[in-house]
Chain A
Amino acid sequence: MNPRDKSSHPHPHELALFSGDDLPRLTSWRIRRHVKHCSECEHRVLLLRSAKAELNREAKSETLTAFEAIADWTRLEREMLGNITVGLDAARCIEKVGHGRKLFLRAGLVTAFVSLFAIGWMTHIPREETGHLVSSLDRLFTANRTQPVGTVLRSSPYGITVRAQGAALTILHPPSAVIGVSGGSAVSARYIDDDTGQVTITKVYAQ
């Protein structure tokens, strides 16, 4: 390649790329050698470089254009994430308002149902059954926690009972039996056995 030969001048677009250092190294080395010895091409390169510098200077001094804003991905990403977060928070606020109403409605329904059940229970179930159920549940849930609280002896029209630690032994008798204390730790029942005609005395003890 002869620098004096006009036809051997680099193509203008190669000079433009050379001025911006955008050529491959081998091509850039070949163009640099030509420009070093060719004043015309050197002048063109200088013009291109000064024009680029002028453009950069003007770009820095001007306000950000819409295109340049789109080109700023980091800033755009921050803005988008911020908008999404605000949107989600707003959605949550709206959702909570609805959820509270639903909870209130459900609580009201449960309260009404429990009240209806309690009223029905009180008006239809005998008190003895309730007491028995409560004591049974109490025994069920406190069986492993409670300590023995002593022994209780009790009479009823049908038997005398010794009760201890949740278990009970009842010796049965007819309703006509005569009940009495027999010592400090026993209750007795005396009756006539209808089948044998014998007097029978039963006792339960708490010893």
Chain B
Amino acid sequence: MRSRAARLGSLAALILLSAYLSAAADSSARWFDVEFPRDSPVLMVSSSLGPLTTAHVRGTSMVLDLHAALLVRNTSTKPISGLTLRVEAQDITPSGKGSVTVPSLRVEPGETFPVRIDMEISRPFNAPQADGALVKVSLDCALFSDLTSYGPDKLHSSRSLMVYELEARRDRHYLASLLQAGRDAEVREELNFGLQDFVPQELGLELLHAPRPANYSGQPVNVGAVAFPSSPVKTIGGAARVIGNEVRAPEIQVRNTSMKVVRSIDMGWIVRDERGKQYLAGSLPATVQLAPVQTGSMIEPGTLRFSHPAGEPMSIGALLTFVNDVEFADGKLWIPSRADIDEATRDPLLHRALATSPEEQRLAEVYRRKGMSGLAEELQKLTQHAPTSR
């Protein structure tokens, strides 16, 4: 009798789950919604959820795998150089959101380009369900080739897109000059072909963004600096608390050595593990108003936890920092030149970490697919426009 009741209960649970999932599948339009403003310089031509889009149960949560393909048209009168789409999941907004950025574009007016969004959403069954689509995609910022931008910029992506574009122009000109000079071997070296050691080291990390006590424990570690000769901001000191694979409260002191007022600074971070391997950990931008010759400090309240790709904790041996970019009060940006990077270090791995930009990664893929002639054609097409700095 009991086993019969248990079987009936299981069957009822399965029927309820199937009904829930089939209802969710039937309303796929409620899963995904794309919204662009009416005056947006980009409009969606089509969108589709791929066949891999599924819903399934994991533990006590429902998991949605969404694989969306968007086709977007440039409806403005200017070429588009980069685009950031904001991705918001209603169930975890406002505390969590994502974005998909496509930099290094050259989309002429009227042309279309694809944007793919592959994501997974996990929500507990007992979580309250919000109204509207589960995932909402909207425009955050579109950057034009004249370095003007459009969009609400809620994620501060305008500045990132601008830095990507400046780096792209720098690297295109650098590689084009090497090609023009017939220095093909240096081009191949620059694009990492055959040099596995130069492949960017993979890194696992966790950023804990929760309230922490004011007094951090851990071993104090000095933060070293990689200096670029033409940088308008110099690093004069830095420290952080390190416990095993955790970096807490990193703080850096900087001085404005330019004659212009600095509005914000983006500091790049390099982590060296116990075996001496160096990893580009990312960058931490900070809004610091610095008059000429003025000094200031930047502190990151969060905790960074590093691990190897397989998951084992990475023991941190040393921390290095460098000035990734500087924004002045007049809105202009400074990024390190190729000469700055060459002079900053003789370490090939560190040099590689400093020099790798999204555009160089893309051009390496062009070279892998189309060879040297394809790369030369691509560079010729792109270097016809725009100055190299702002």
CB distance from A116 to the nearest CB of B (A): 22
The answer to whether the Cβ of B285 comes within 8 Å of any Cβ in the partner chain is: yes
Give A166 to B356 CA distance when docked, in angstroms. Answer: 36
- Partner of B95 from A160, A180, A187, A207 at Cβ < 8 Å: A207
Q: Quick check: which of A67-75, A100-108, A196-204 contacts chain B, the rest being far away?
A: A196-204
The answer to whether the Cβ of A155 comes within 8 Å of any Cβ in the partner chain is: yes
Point out the residues of chain A lying under 8 angstroms from B211, CB to CB: 150
Give A170 to B87 CA distance when docked, in angstroms. Answer: 11
The answer to whether the Cβ of B127 comes within 8 Å of any Cβ in the partner chain is: yes
The answer to whether the Cβ of B7 comes within 8 Å of any Cβ in the partner chain is: no
CB distance B203 to A206 under 8 Å? no
CB distance B361 to A192 under 8 Å? yes
- Partner of A140 from B60, B97, B101, B203 at Cβ < 8 Å: B60
Residue-wise, chain B 81-125 has the 8 Å CB interface mask toward A (1 for contact) of: 000000101011011111111111100000001101111111110
CB distance from A136 to the nearest CB of B (A): 3
Q: Taking CB as reference atom, which chain A residue is nearest B135?
A: A169
- Partner of B98 from A154, A175, A204 at Cβ < 8 Å: A204
Point out the residues of chain B lying under 8 angstroms from A172, CB to CB: 118-120
Known contacts A164-B95, A179-B205: does B89 contact A149 (CB below 8 Å)?
no
Give A192 to B369 CA distance when docked, in angstroms. Answer: 12
Give A163 to B127 CA distance when docked, in angstroms. Answer: 14
CB distance A201 to B119 under 8 Å? no
The answer to whether the Cβ of B282 comes within 8 Å of any Cβ in the partner chain is: yes
The answer to whether the Cβ of A162 comes within 8 Å of any Cβ in the partner chain is: yes
CB distance B60 to A190 under 8 Å? no
The answer to whether the Cβ of A167 comes within 8 Å of any Cβ in the partner chain is: yes
Point out the residues of chain B lying under 8 angstroms from A155, CB to CB: 203-206
CB distance A206 to B96 under 8 Å? yes
5 nearest interchain CB pairs? A150-B210, A180-B282, A181-B282, A136-B59, A162-B96
- Partner of B283 from A171, A182, A190 at Cβ < 8 Å: A182
CB distance from B31 to the nearest CB of A (A): 13
Q: Taking CB as reference atom, which chain A residue is nearest B363?
A: A199
The answer to whether the Cβ of A35 comes within 8 Å of any Cβ in the partner chain is: no
Point out the residues of chain A lying under 8 angstroms from B32, CB to CB: none
Give A26 to B221 CA distance when docked, in angstroms. Answer: 128
Point out the residues of chain A lying under 8 angstroms from B209, CB to CB: 150-153, 184-185, 206
The answer to whether the Cβ of A133 comes within 8 Å of any Cβ in the partner chain is: yes
The answer to whether the Cβ of A139 comes within 8 Å of any Cβ in the partner chain is: yes
CB distance from B177 to the nearest CB of A (A): 22
The answer to whether the Cβ of B269 comes within 8 Å of any Cβ in the partner chain is: yes
CB distance A205 to B210 under 8 Å? no
Known contacts A139-B60, A198-B102: does B281 contact A154 (CB below 8 Å)?
no
Give A202 to B58 CA distance when docked, in angstroms. Answer: 24
- Partner of B104 from A163, A175, A186, A198 at Cβ < 8 Å: A198
Known contacts A168-B122, A180-B281, A182-B282: does B94 contact A207 (CB below 8 Å)?
yes
CB distance from B58 to the nearest CB of A (A): 8
The answer to whether the Cβ of B208 comes within 8 Å of any Cβ in the partner chain is: yes
Chain B residues within 8 Å of chain A by Cβ, number: 69
Point out the residues of chain A lying under 8 angstroms from B164, CB to CB: 201
The answer to whether the Cβ of A143 comes within 8 Å of any Cβ in the partner chain is: yes
The answer to whether the Cβ of A195 comes within 8 Å of any Cβ in the partner chain is: yes
CB distance from A139 to the nearest CB of B (A): 6
Q: A167-B96, A183-B284 are in contact. List 7 more A-B contacts (CB 8 A).
A: A153-B209, A169-B96, A171-B117, A172-B120, A181-B282, A182-B283, A203-B99
CB distance B92 to A168 under 8 Å? yes
Give A195 to B202 CA distance when docked, in angstroms. Answer: 22
Give A135 to B61 CA distance when docked, in angstroms. Answer: 11
CB distance from B168 to the nearest CB of A (A): 9
Within 8 A of A (CB), among B296-348: 300-302, 304, 309
CB distance B92 to A184 under 8 Å? no
Give A181 to B280 CA distance when docked, in angstroms. Answer: 9
Give A97 to B294 CA distance when docked, in angstroms. Answer: 88
CB distance B60 to A170 under 8 Å? no
The answer to whether the Cβ of A193 comes within 8 Å of any Cβ in the partner chain is: yes
- Partner of B204 from A168, A179, A199, A207 at Cβ < 8 Å: A179
The answer to whether the Cβ of B178 comes within 8 Å of any Cβ in the partner chain is: no
The answer to whether the Cβ of B207 comes within 8 Å of any Cβ in the partner chain is: yes
Give A93 to B151 CA distance when docked, in angstroms. Answer: 86
Q: Taking CB as reference atom, which chain B residue is nearest A187?
A: B207
